[in-house]
Structure 1
Amino acid sequence: MAAREVLFEFRQIGAYVKVSAIDAATATEVSIVGDASAGTARLKQTALRKLEYVLAKQQPPGR
């Protein structure tokens, strides 16, 4: 996958953090909820993997 600009938003909700990842080119947004103790890097990585999965599903077959 080519390098893309991805924006991240973190919102703490009690013991959990909601992380939103937004692809700047397509405005596709995904969210995950994880344990706040998991750490920013791990939560960010999980949200990015989900975003990549969703973007790949949106591609036409054969690409």
Structure 2
Amino acid sequence: MAGREVYFEFRRVGNYVRVTAIDSLTGTEITVAGDAKAGEAMLKQTALRKLEYVLAKKQG
């Protein structure tokens, strides 16, 4: 993901948080949900890993 910006959006829904991550280069967007107690850093890391997975899968 070097040289790319990733935008994150956090939305609390009850006891969990929905995190959306968007790749600035391709516009690819993913969403994950996690426990609100997990902390922003952990949720960001989880979303980033899923985004990397989806981008790699798209490339083949």
Q: TM-score, normalised by structure 1?
A: 0.90
Cα distance per residue 1:11-46 (max 9 Å; x no partner): 000010000000011000000000000000000000
Structure 2 residue aligned with 1:32 = 32
Number of aligned residue pairs: give it.
60
Structure 1 residue aligned with 2:42 = 42
Unaligned residue ranges in structure 1 (runs of 5+): none
User: After TM superposition, what 4+ stretches of structure 1 lie above 4 angstroms from structure 2?
Assistant: none
Distance 1:4 1:58 in 2: 16
Identity of aligned residues (%): 68
Unaligned residue ranges in structure 2 (runs of 5+): none
